[in-house]
Chains A and B, each alone.
Chain A
Amino acid sequence: MARLGMLIDLSTCIGCHACSVACKAEFDVPLGVFRDTVRTVEEGQYPKAAKHFVPVLCNHCEDAPCLDACPTGAITRLENGEVVIEEGDCNLNRFCMAACPYDAIYEDPEKNVAQKCTFCEHRTADGRQPACVDACPTGCRIFGDLDDPDSRISVTARENGTDVWKPEAGTRPRVLYVDPRRALPLIAADGVQMDTGADLAGE
């Protein structure tokens, strides 16, 4: 069985949010919450200022804190490693949300259940790519089998070296980053969900 994962090359992400929009459209994600988004972080000061774009999503961790936290067994790991939430079994106790160091799980205000990125399990089961991977105009996301040494994701990871987000959390993420400019430590205190309190109303 494959061990699915994602590699994101930060040197080619342009922060266009095509992935975020594709994800929103794929799952009808409500306003104010995110399965997949792009963090923008600035570093340094003029004349040596830099701006980084870091796509963030559920890391489908090998040691997933959400999986251990869920008291009702609503969060499960599929055979291919994808961590998903069975909506019917979720009782919205929010322990998974509090346990996830990436803040990748949100409360769906319409369905009243916890939700998160599933690596587009419905698409990958058909052999297709996740929506965010298909939508990326620069191809900075690679999705595939981490256990297959000849897969594109494994080859790219081997050739470039990879980092993970918040390695100190000890969760062994399956979302890997090629991060030549060391942008990941700059968002070590952030999560997938963002403060949208200052946004204009969506309607």
Chain B
Amino acid sequence: MPEPALAAQITPMENVPWGAPLALYFTLIGLPSGLTLILWWRAARPATAAVPGASPGGGGGEGWRLDWRAHWTVLALLTAAGALLVTDLGRPERFFLMLTAFGNWDSPISLGAKLIAVKSALLALALYLLWDLLWARRRAAGPGGGPLPAARGPARAVDRALPWLLGAASAALAVYPAAVLARTWVSPLAATPGAALLYLLTALLMGGAAVQLLLLWPPGGAAAEDPARRRFTLGLLTVYAAALFFAGISVADGTPARESLDALLNGGWSALFYGGVLGAGLLLPLLTLGLAGRRRWAQPAAAVGVLAGACALRFLIFAA
């Protein structure tokens, strides 16, 4: 029999309100958020920095190709996330109510739907601007074309603000699941101090892994950047490992979160934790990148492991 003071906010109740669609949603929503954040960071850094990608996305070179693919990927993932929410709610008009009801700003659950809508609109604008820029370049490169005029006035302001707005929406979307889950009896681990940081880091890891996989085609297109991407991934994994460790030891004894953590370490979820989070998500990429990082297969293999591990941790914070 658990101590009464401990038991109240544990999750002993059989009537778990959220099912598979929400578990999948909270797990996967980190991917589009992280992908946009990684692109944003990459675009804001000089080309020589240790960030993944061939060259800054906002400028010339082949960066636009990755931006184009990544934006469409993110848009598809956000559409899928919206579809999951509609599936969970049962009817599209209920999702619409999430978007249009502003009565209770204290309730973080509707912020996810609103963020998805805002980010999708921003992405559509970003894709239009990218498409417009590419056409302008083609016209300028063709017969009779001149130098490309720089954006001015409102167009320039939009051009500059858009990446920041996308970054802000993505950061919020990466972290808000912790705010939702922390207010429930479903996920005691989400109420621990490190949960928001872990959600952010897993989103970034998922984004970095997705960039790595998006760069697989065309083959060899970004081979020159391989060492930089390897260093970046190793660095992120090191921060992630440290955050995981300190988040774990920050959980106090005698709390509901401790019960959940014990379930991860020694209970029913331990196989997924050791195999998925630590094995596939940390050890595999660290060993692969550390020992065989120069081989062509190493980075995609590490990316798949990172994706699997990050997904496993996000799911475990929700479900354990």
**A interface with B by C-beta (< 8 Å):** 65, 68-73, 89, 91-95, 97-101, 103, 106-107, 112, 166, 168-169, 185-186, 188-191, 193-195, 197
**Are the C-beta atoms of B183 and A69 separated by less than 8 Å?**
yes
Check if B104 is an interface residue, CB within 8 A of chain A: yes
Contact B5 A95 (CB under 8 A): no
Identify which of B14, B180, B183 contacts A65 (C-beta below 8 A).
B183
Q: What residues of chain B lie closer than 8 Å to A95, measured between beta carbons?
A: 107, 109, 180, 183-184
- 29 residue pairs A–B, Cβ–Cβ below 8 Å: A68-B106, A68-B107, A69-B109, A69-B183, A70-B107, A71-B98, A89-B101, A91-B95, A93-B88, A93-B94, A93-B109, A94-B17, A95-B183, A97-B15, A98-B184, A98-B185, A101-B8, A101-B185, A103-B13, A103-B15, A103-B185, A112-B90, A168-B5, A169-B9, A189-B7, A190-B12, A190-B13, A193-B14, A194-B14
* Complex contact B94–A91 (CB within 8 A): yes
Q: Is B103 positioned at the interface, with any CB of A under 8 Å from its CB?
A: yes
B-side interface mostly: loop
Smallest beta-carbon distance B15→chain A, Å: 4
Q: Which residue of A lies closest to B1 (CB)?
A: A186
B97 touches which one: A72, A99, A169 (CB < 8 A)? Answer: A72
Chain B residues lying within 8 Å of A70, measured Cβ to Cβ, are 104, 107
**Number of chain B residues close to chain A: CB under 8 A:** 33
B73 at the A interface (CB under 8 A): no
Interface presence of B10 (CB below 8 A): yes
A72 / chain B contacts, CB cutoff of 8 Å: 97-98, 101, 103-104, 110
Chain B contacts with A in 161-201, Cβ cutoff 8 A: 180, 183-186
